[in-house]
Amino acid sequence: MLKVKPWQLVTVILVCIAGLLFMVPNFFDREILNSKYPSWLPSQQVSLGLDLQGGSHLLLQVELDGLVQEKMQKLVSEVRRELRKEKIRYTKLSAADNSVTFKVTNKTNLLKLDTVLSAILSDHNIDKSENGLVKIMFTDEAVRKLQNSALSQSIEIIRRRIDETGVREPTIQRQGDDRVIVQLPGIDDPERMKELIGKTARLTFHLVDHSATDEDIRNRNISPGTKLLPLERDSSESDNSQPSLEMIAVRKRAELSGESLEDAQATFQDNQPVVSFRFDTAGGRKFGKITKENVNKSFAIVLDGKVISAPNINEPILGGSGIISGNFSVQSADELAILLRAGALPAPMKVLEERTVGPGLGADSIRAGTIACIIGLVAVIIFMFIYYGLFGLVADIALVLNLVIIIGLLSLLQATLTLPGIAGIVLTIGMAVDSNVLIFERIREEYKTGRTPFSSMEAGYKQAFRTILDSNLTTLIAAVILYLIGTGPVKGFAVTLGLGIITSMFTAMIVSRYILVAWLRYRRPSKLPL
């Protein structure tokens, strides 16, 4: 137990040095690290959570009611397609009150409706009356599944959008059945993030209806297969002699959707910010076919029900890529590219609550936490030295190294330090010295039985090892569970507690042991100072 191999000693020394090197950058400003700090040394700093660094807190609500209505409208189209394919005559096909209704003119066709619609009605109930009236409704289970899927998808898309902005360690978590909490450390102006997060970013491509004249658009006199959408014109396109139309007529049916997008990047064309996009293989083929069949026609690019660009198709675009131009600034083009890369939200989102946490509050928390750590550390150091003398001094050295390695690991792993995380560090200080107390008491008991100093230390470490391992392992399991099921500050506490358990085991069972072994072999004491 007390035999130390050279490679083990070298490993321990390297670990301690590495912990010190990763801890030191936290005492410097970021500007100094970027300009004067040696580039070959680690420069990562501990990431601070919202409660320490300040930032923005948003409570969002996913508007799920419209999602069911949207699914019902899609179901109307699917039912219409299937009925026409099977040549079943019908009337009054519409969606209302979370249901789709229609009337079959030939009642003999009612019997085969189940077979005809089975492919599209796996999660629906069908009610048929003798007069031919058919009513299709979502099952309660299907509605719940749809809402849960939409909420989970929304959280994932929000996470991708925020990650694209470079915000470190955001907290994104579900609250209840339709709400999402978003915490953004270091963001003191939430308006841009609200704009980025809150946009549905549903991208569709529609053919422009050239049969609709300017007068038709002004009078809202359009065909059933056409709809009017707001048109955003670039200021450079405006002409004083020809006032620009505010609406444009496009086909209701989308030729292509943003789901087929593979990538989107902000770039420049003719010194103007634009967004380039690229479809996946299937989307590229479809895009090429559409542009080939509609040369010399306008192709509207629609984002959240607004036409942002309606270029003319001069020739087939077979490469699966294109350009979105419009009245973009550099920032808006970049944000649009982020939205397209991250994907569209399944349902609109509404901001219910918005808070900004100032950095001053975080600074006060850091100051209070630092004072608590120092007081706890000093108190433990004094107690250990008074009670155990030389052995207590060794435990104090191990305790300081434990704190150094914890901060170094937080910097290395880029883990987020929260206010509960500081509490975890304070708790770790007490837990770290507990292992040394167990070891020293075991050594004292063995020494009182008449063993030699060397034998007492060997027996003390051996007997205390299992007790220390069991107690720390159970605590580590609890920390892992907290990390897996907890969120936000709870995770911060779990991280520091888990790392503290591992480092305290290392410093108590290895570092302090190596120091005491070196002292024992150098001094060869006849009795132990315990």
Say which CATH number the domain at 99 has: 3.30.1240
Contact, 264 vs 337, CB < 8 A?
A: yes
Structure tokens at 135: 């009513």
Q: Look at residues 381, 377, 386, 400 and name the one whose alpha carbon lies nearest to residue 529.
A: 386
SS3 99: strand
Do the domain assignments include residue 377?
yes
Q: Based on the domain organization, do 232 and 120 belong to the same domain?
A: no
One domain, residues 125 and 14: no
What is the rounded (10 degree) CA torsion for 70, 72, 77, 80? Answer: -170
Domain membership of residue 314 (yes or no) is yes
Q: Clarify whether residues 36 and 72 are in a common domain.
A: no
Which residues, including other chains, have CB under 8 Å from residue 497's CB and lie 6 or more apart?
A: 424, 427, 428, 475, 479, 482
The answer to whether residue 153 is domain-embedded is: no
Q: Give the pLDDT confidence of 328-367 residue by residue, as tens digits.
A: 888 888 888 888 888 888 888 888 888 777 666 567 777 7
pLDDT at position 2: 62
Closest residue by Cα to residue 203 from 257, 145, 246, 250: 257
Please indicate, yes or no, whether residues 133 and 110 belong to a single structural domain of this protein. Answer: yes
Residue 17 has pLDDT above 90, yes or no: yes
**Residues 204-263: tens digit of each pLDDT:** 889 998 888 888 888 888 888 888 888 775 444 444 434 445 788 898 888 888 888 888
> Using CA atoms, how far apart are residues 317 and 319, in angstroms rounded to an integer?
6
pLDDT for res 243: 41
Given a cut of 80, is residue 46 above it in pLDDT?
yes
Q: Is the pLDDT of residue 477 over 90?
A: yes
Query: What total of structural domains would you count in the chain?
Result: 3
| 165 within domain boundaries | no
Residue 146 pLDDT more than 90? no
* Mean pLDDT for the stretch of residues 394-404: 90
Tell me what pLDDT residue 236 has.
Answer: 43
Once rounded to an integer, what is the mean pLDDT over residues 171-178?
Answer: 82
Q: Which of the four pLDDT bands, split at 50, 70 and 90, describes residue 169?
A: low
Q: Does residue 397 share a domain with residue 261? A: no
Residue 14 confidence (pLDDT) above 60: yes
Contact 39, 25 (CB under 8 A): no
Residues 311 and 212 sit within 8 Å (Cβ to Cβ): no
Are 310 and 440 within one domain?
A: no
Residues 425-434: pLDDT tens digits? 888 887 888 8
Q: Which domain holds residue 419?
A: 6-53+359-523
CB 423 within 8 A of CB 429: no
Asked whether residue 401 falls in the same domain as residue 430, the answer is: yes
Whether 510 is covered by a domain: the verdict is yes
pLDDT value, residue 359: 62
Mean pLDDT, residues 180-190: 78
pLDDT the model gives residue 241: 38
Phi (first) and psi of residue 493, to 5 degrees: -65, -45
Q: Are 273 and 390 part of one and the same domain?
A: no
Rg for the chain, CA atoms, rounded: 34
Mean pLDDT of the chain: 82
What DSSP assignment string belongs to 230-266?
EBPPPGGG-BTTBPPPSEEEEESS-SEEGGGEEEEEE
Domain co-membership, 37 together with 96:
no
Residues 499 and 411 both lie in one domain: yes
512 domain residue, yes or no: yes
Same domain, 273 and 315: yes
Cα–chain center distance at 16: 33
Q: DSSP class of residue 319?
A: S
Predicted pLDDT of residue 233 = 59
pTM across the whole model: 0.63
